[in-house]
A = this chain, B = another copy of it.
Amino acid sequence: MPRLHWEDFSPGQVIECGSRLLTRAEIVAFAAEYDPQPMHLDEAAARATLFGGLVASGWHSCCVLMRMLSDDFLRDASFMGAPGVEEVKWLAPVRPGENLKVRATVLESRLSPSRPNTGMVKFLFELTGAAGTRLMTLTASLVFERAGNPVMVAADRSAPRPT
A residues adjacent to B (C-beta < 8 A): 33-37, 39-40, 47-52, 55-59, 61-64, 66-67, 70, 74, 79-94, 151-157, 160-163
Contacts and interface: CB of A to CB of B under 8 A. Distances in A.
Contacts of A47: 153-154
Given A35-B70, A55-B160, A88-B88, 20 more contacts: A33-B67, A34-B66, A37-B79, A40-B162, A40-B163, A47-B154, A49-B80, A49-B151, A50-B81, A50-B152, A50-B155, A50-B157, A52-B153, A52-B157, A55-B162, A58-B162, A59-B59, A59-B62, A90-B162, A90-B163
Given A63-B35, A63-B63, A160 B93 contact: yes
Contacts of A70: 35-37
Contacts of A89: 83-84
A159 to B, nearest CB: 8
12 contacts: A37-B81, A39-B81, A39-B162, A39-B163, A40-B163, A47-B153, A47-B154, A49-B154, A84-B87, A85-B85, A88-B88, A93-B161
B33 A92 contact: no
Given A49-B153, A91-B161, A92-B161, A62 B62 contact: yes
A67 B32 CA distance: 9
